[in-house]
Structure 1
Amino acid sequence: MALWLLRSGRHCEHESKFLNENRIYLTWSGFKQNLSKLKDRKELHEYLEKFYPDFTKAHRSQNSGQIWAFTKRMKAGDWVCMPSKRKTIHIGEITGNYVYSDDAENPYYHHRTINWIETDVPRTNFDQDLLYSLGSISTICQIKRNDSEERIRAMQANGWKSVGVSIKTPVTNGDDDQDIVNGNEQEIDIEEIANDHIARTIQAKFKGHGLEALVEAILKAKGFTTHRSDKGADGGIDILAAPDTLGFGQPRICVQVKSQDSPLERPVLDQLVGTMQHVGADQGLLVCWGGFKKTIKHELPRLFFKVRMWDRSDLIDEFLKVYNDLDEDIKADIPLKRVWAVANQDNDDED
């Protein structure tokens, strides 16, 4: 069996479709060609020369490797890691062969069925070397380095927590796809890896009630006056916040913060809404490091004008927006430096 990295689009824009339909797709726009009829990689290269006449040879070769992997090399029983726009990882097992559907909606002509074993596994649960492999900018590649497959399969039995590193000599299969679809050789997404480091630092420095302090600091940097409850029973109130110097402005916000790694259940949202009414808050903010169950997400449209929810990804985004305005103690705990890097202009993606 093998382990694959597969992205649901450059910006995870196809993520919901992949999850809801229990399918993974090749999402190269307009790519209508029954690839099951291809005899070999040479024939695929010839087709890509016609389909992408303006691409460089290297770019076509990169696409060729990924397409060949999806159609010919992936097998039922292989596992797939799919990064989420929520900064988590979805893990599934391929259950079907490659299928071409000529009448499908663009770009969903090519698919395989998949059983999603676990969704939204926090990226901080993975060892850093695995995150480097999963940080490849490729849409599809096989992950082999450092017993990646064995370790991720073992995580399932360990509650999706790290099982440590046991490095063996990498095994290669000797085929000509090695340099194209082997995750070890791919460029990595530097921004994603940087966010992983920030997430690990926040988790280490602001455990438990410490996360409340970070959320309060972010709100203060946004111009709110705040009141944070003492440790212990808080009646569902971790932070109260409002604009103006004395905090008499509007909107008046009631904040509940959960530092747990697991997704939050619906009762906490109901408690927050009740507490908002009790203290006369106009709006509520629910923060959970581990994200939210579907039962909570389904309530978002109904509560759009009353409640906002921040998961790990949202919290980091808000933290970065106001970083320069945070107090010096916070910046000392999480020292960041802005760097500029050339963006990859020859991305393998399909859209």
Structure 2
Amino acid sequence: MVTEARAWVVRGGRNGESDQRFLADNLVGIGFDTFGDLTPVTSREEMKARAVKALPDAKEASAFNYAAQAWAFRGRIEAGDLVVVPLKNSPHIAIGRIVGDYQYVEEGLGNVHHTRAVEWLRTDIPRTVIGKDLLYSIGAFSTVVQVQRNDAAYRLGVLAASEDAEDPGERSGFVPKRGAASASADEADLEDAATESGFDIDAYVSDRITARIRERFDGHRLSQLVGAILEAEGFVVQVSPPGADGGVDILAGRGLFGMDSPRVVVQVKSEPKAVSDTVVAQLHGAVTRNSADQGLLVAMGGVTKPAEHQLVGQKFRIAVWDAARLQRAIFENYEALPADVKADLPLRRAWVLAE
């Protein structure tokens, strides 16, 4: 049964440095070390005063930005609320439920000084099963932000409730709930903070490209795209026709006839969900049957935990490309890809200063 609650994003640092601590210690937290213990703070106005004192060199707007986030973490998040952590160095997001009150850790847990206890519901939700609008909502660079647009809390609850869940999208007739005037003022402060902090451009661009691949290269067409990438890498490629393939979507090899090593069997899964250990076992069998050297599993949604465990010890036997790794292969070989692929996936290289 899916229950609705408010939903919050709490980031584990700009580079995801606290993500694994969150998961291992069943908590979320923020740094804000100069703010001190926030237990005595009982209103957003008090938090603004605390922020101005804690950040003497910051402009008032910037101090209020931090105050809005700190007050949300200390005073607005409640037990039972959902919390989302976009795992920075992973193609997944984690969703949990807040189960504890605010706690101050003076000595710090790494960079974290302010914590809330969490019961993790799912920690391996592929970004590929989440709608573009919802991914955009959770993409703010703010450390703490409430996500409300597009029926976000309901949709995140659905995703957290089952390993097979996909984003159901916004419900027909959805109307956002609004609280009392003070709550609305808090929400406005937090929205201003999120707007000022900007968005995770890398994740946003990656999500847009993944969505385009899913739209234009679904089903058998994804096998053709992977085949084109392997041809650009110098392989001789045979792509199986649509239909039952016995676990073999592509055969690839080196040499004039594609019979020289490395000989690779490729299985391609375009669905957004993570694929199971059954698929891994099927590919392993196909590698053996075809006297191949290696297997490549292209799975847009990645693989499940049992599949990951099955892959342990097979690093030199079976490789996995999820959506992010597939993108990297596309970037590396884009100039050599066929014109029809480029027409459906138009990309432009851009270098920007990372600040």
TM-score range, shorter chain: 0.7 to 0.9
Worse-matched range after superposition: 279-288 or 297-306? 297-306
1:273 matched to which residue of 2? 284
2:83 counterpart of 1:74: no
2:13 matched to which residue of 1? 9
CA distance in 2, matches of 1:301, 1:48: 47
Greater relative contact order, per chain length (Cα 8 Å cut-off, separation 6+): 1
**Contact 1:6-1:80 within 8 A present in 2 as well:** yes
2:167 matched to which residue of 1? 161
TM-fit CA distance, 1:141: 0.8
TM-score (norm 2): 0.82
CA distance in 2, matches of 1:46, 1:322: 51
Worse-matched range after superposition: 93-102 or 19-28? 19-28
Worse-matched range after superposition: 37-46 or 200-209? 37-46
1:115 paired residue among 99, 119, 126: 119
| Ranges in structure 1 where 5+ consecutive residues have no aligned partner | 346-351
2:332 counterpart of 1:321: yes
| Ranges in structure 2 where 5+ consecutive residues have no aligned partner | none
Which runs of structure 2 are paired with 1:1-351 in the superposition (5 Å)? Answer: 1-27=5-31, 33-38=36-41, 40-49=46-55, 53=57, 55-84=58-87, 85-153=89-157, 159-164=165-170, 166=173, 168=175, 171=178, 174-175=181-182, 177-182=186-191, 185-186=195-196, 187-339=198-350, 343=354, 345=355
Count of aligned pairs: 340
Amino acid at match of 2:298: V
User: Structure 1 residues 245, 164: closer, same or farther in 2, change over 3 A?
Assistant: farther
TM-fit CA distance, 1:27: 4.4
After superposition, the C-alpha distances for 1:327-351 in whole angstroms (9 at most, x for unaligned) are 11111112223445665x4xxxxxx
1:181 partner SS: helix
TM-fit CA distance, 1:156: 6.1
1:349 matched to which residue of 2? none
CA distance in 2, matches of 1:43, 1:32: 10
After superposition, the C-alpha distances for 1:141-167 in whole angstroms (9 at most, x for unaligned) are 112334433454466679333233646
User: Structure 1 residues 231, 59: closer, same or farther in 2, change over 3 A?
Assistant: same
- Identity percentage over the alignment? 34
**Contact 1:121-1:160 within 8 A present in 2 as well:** no
TM-score (norm 1): 0.83
TM-fit CA distance, 1:31: 6.0
**Contact 1:151-1:163 within 8 A present in 2 as well:** yes
2:218 partner SS: coil
CA distance in 2, matches of 1:13, 1:142: 21
**Contact 2:93-2:126 within 8 A present in 1 as well:** yes
TM-fit CA distance, 1:41: 1.0
CA distance in 2, matches of 1:185, 1:132: 12
1:109 partner SS: strand
CA distance in 1, matches of 2:289, 2:111: 50
**Contact 1:81-1:91 within 8 A present in 2 as well:** yes
Worse-matched range after superposition: 139-148 or 165-174? 165-174
User: Structure 1 residues 121, 106: closer, same or farther in 2, change over 3 A?
Assistant: closer
2:36 partner SS: coil
Amino acid at match of 1:193: Y
After superposition, the C-alpha distances for 1:195-229 in whole angstroms (9 at most, x for unaligned) are 22222221122222222112111222222222222
